[in-house]
Structure 1
Amino acid sequence: MSLDYTSHSHRPEPDELVPSRYALRIGEIDVLVISDGVLPLPTAMLAHNVDPAVRAAWLNDMFLPPDAFDWALNVVVARSGGQTILIDAGLGLDPDLNLPRAGQLVRRLEAAGIDLGSVTDVVLTHMHMDHIGGLLVDGVKDRLRPDLRIHVAAAEVEFWASPDFSHVSMPPGFPDALRSAAKRFVKEYRSQLRTFEEEHEVAPGVVVRRTGGHTPGHSVVRLASGGDRLTFAGDLVFAVGFDHPDWYNGFEHDPEESAQVRVRLLRELAANGELLVATHLPFPSIGRVALDGDVFRWVPTFWDY
């Protein structure tokens, strides 16, 4: 596979009006950001620890709808040292969820010329269903390599054996769906899991590091080559998190720790100027972080044609 072939100048599929993949290079590492679609969720999920009027004011300032809007779902494919690494796997296709605009990963990988059988490694930032569901789609496992390695923090696997939802603020049905997806995932892929404690180098210049917070085993992936750096932050950073990093997201299992980890990461990124990609920032979500007084500022990169 050559990610050069899947450049951002390619036309989208005939039935798609907007591009769904974006390629860049981090030194010698080829990187492809792929949209898994969008997930409509209540805006209350953005911050359940603030007055609804304050949250509504932020949404109004951002020209966002007051009740629900589409959260982006981004995954990354990286190629380094002869390995092809899928970072997170999208939502998949759960008919009970009725989310037809999500779960697009498999067909968009195919559209980008990436065969599932070419993937040597999967890195999971955590095991929420919108990060593992693509590997649970019927027929996908049969198309993967039998020696596929799936890297995930040991604390994450341990957490989902008996998950604690006491501090989340999710719509009805979500806890059961998350629990069910994680249980099924571990059952189907247990022999291919490669757990780590705090940090692990997956491929040359590709390092996954546990942060905790969002879930106990939540991790970020750092790509570094030739002086270039990019962090895939998973669910540590949401669009509202730059202005209000102390707002609690409804999916955070430890909201207080999540806010602390988020601030540390944003400060680090603001200091070193490296690129940031995150699951739920607007596609392609590539940008940098700047300090603006007491808050952070999201600086999207200019689209590179």
Structure 2
Amino acid sequence: MPQTETKPRSIANQETNMSLDNNSQLGRRGPDELVPSRYAVRVGEIDVLVVSDGVLPLPTEMLGHNADPAVRAAWLGEMFLPADAFDWSLNVALVRSGDRTILIDAGLGLDPNLNLPRAGQLVRRLDSAGIDLGSVTDIVLTHLHMDHIGGLLVEGVKDRLRPDLQIHVAATEVTFWEAPDFTHVHMPQGFPDALKATAKRFMAEYRSHLRQFDEQHEVAPGVVVQRTGGHTPGHSVVRLASGGDRLTFAGDAVFAVGFDHPDWFNGFEHDPEEAARVRVRLLTELARTGEQLVATHLPFPSVGRVAIDGDAFRWVPIFWDY
């Protein structure tokens, strides 16, 4: 099978024009890359590389545990999705603005006890793209669920990161994980314990690198992280703006079903009612501005726009640019 590589026309000469890692290997193919795993876009003068961390199989009930099972099954059928479980995409983004190279979230990692061999691919895929972890100046964490921080706990990763690395996260999120409340979630068995253990280990290893903010913080020119709450108390989105172009990395504020049914509760939401309000506000804003959207669990490469279709929203994926 021939290997596939994404090289958008807007920055087609990635080897010479795209400076995410200041070397000439960003566009090279990795030896094991049989499917597309990275997609580059440009937001004004800001370079963005969406990278797939793989996929996470989960029960379909997690998409809307408050929905009528028959209605949920009908939606899955209309989307040609299996009724019991399907693969959730795991997307992260690498952003270059000025002299800052920013990783937005860090993927699931490679915990052998989770038995998730198709997830936790971030480090390997950054390596295959020729991106040196030591070039990352900042990490923005949308929240501290394990599929957003686990990549930082992979053996050897911390040693490859720079000693002055800054990790930006909402102060509310840090406080929450000191004694997390799982009263309102609807997760598969074992997930709450795994989430708590991963967050505890992350805080032990990286606390000295944390740069906490309250509601909003500018990480680099045109790169602003904003707390939304809802999914977790400190859940945040990252807004990119440059030269009239805009893109929002929405983390877990938006899931695939959220366009048709924004009021459905996702099983990982710690405050599902607030999460639904956050989702509606964000999708309404994105439909109004027409800016691009990337989210952790939308199908890779997860780049598109939002339209309003009657009483619901509509996801408008981009046409891939080669």
- Does structure 1 residue 202 correspond to structure 2 residue 219? yes
What code does the residue aligned with 1:265 have? Answer: L
By how many angstroms is 1:114 displaced?
A: 0.8
Contact 1:12–1:18 (Cα < 8 Å) also in 2: no
Give the CA RMSD over aligned residues: 1.2
Question: What TM-score, normalized by structure 1, do the two folds share?
Answer: 0.97
What code does the residue aligned with 2:148 have? Answer: H
Contact 2:105–2:149 (Cα < 8 Å) also in 1: yes
The range that moved more, 282-291 or 106-115, is: 106-115
> Aligned to 2:177, what secondary structure does the other structure show?
helix
Partner of 1:133: 150
Partner of 1:90: 107
By how many angstroms is 1:13 displaced?
A: 3.1
Partner of 2:193: 176
C-alpha deviations, 1:14-35, integer Å up to 9, x for none?
4332110001110000100000
By how many angstroms is 1:50 displaced?
A: 1.1
Distance 1:53 1:13 in 2: 43
By how many angstroms is 1:250 displaced?
A: 0.1
- Does structure 1 residue 236 correspond to structure 2 residue 264? no
> Aligned to 2:41, what secondary structure does the other structure show?
strand
What code does the residue aligned with 2:275 have? Answer: S
Over the matched positions of the two proteins, sequence identity in percent amounts to 81
2:136 equivalent among 101, 111, 119: 119
By how many angstroms is 1:51 displaced?
A: 1.3
Distance 1:16 1:192 in 2: 32
1:250 equivalent among 264, 267, 271: 267
What code does the residue aligned with 2:165 have? Answer: L
Contact 2:294–2:304 (Cα < 8 Å) also in 1: yes
Partner of 1:227: 244
1:46 equivalent among 52, 57, 63: 63
What code does the residue aligned with 2:59 have? Answer: P
> Aligned to 1:230, what secondary structure does the other structure show?
strand
By how many angstroms is 1:60 displaced?
A: 0.3
2:174 equivalent among 141, 157, 162: 157
By how many angstroms is 1:11 displaced?
A: 6.7
Contact 1:3–1:23 (Cα < 8 Å) also in 2: no
> Aligned to 1:78, what secondary structure does the other structure show?
strand
> Aligned to 2:279, what secondary structure does the other structure show?
helix
C-alpha deviations, 1:246-268, integer Å up to 9, x for none?
00000000000000000000000
Distance 1:50 1:39 in 2: 22
Distance 1:63 1:195 in 2: 42
What code does the residue aligned with 1:175 have? Answer: P
Runs of 4+ in structure 1 deviating by more than 6 angstroms, as ranges, are none
Contact 1:43–1:67 (Cα < 8 Å) also in 2: yes
Partner of 1:298: 315
By how many angstroms is 1:12 displaced?
A: 4.7
Partner of 1:276: 293
Distance 1:185 1:214 in 2: 19
Distance 2:132 2:28 in 1: 19
Distance 1:282 1:175 in 2: 25
Partner of 2:79: 62
Contact 2:28–2:129 (Cα < 8 Å) also in 1: no
- Does structure 1 residue 74 correspond to structure 2 residue 91? yes
List alignment gaps of at least 5 residues for structure 1.
none
Provide the aligned length of Structure 1 versus Structure 2.
Answer: 303
Partner of 2:126: 109
Change (3 A) 1:6 1:225: farther
C-alpha deviations, 1:57-83, integer Å up to 9, x for none?
000000000000000000000000100
> Aligned to 2:278, what secondary structure does the other structure show?
helix
2:51 equivalent among 25, 34, 38: 34
Contact 2:20–2:101 (Cα < 8 Å) also in 1: no
By how many angstroms is 1:112 displaced?
A: 1.0
Distance 2:31 2:300 in 1: 19
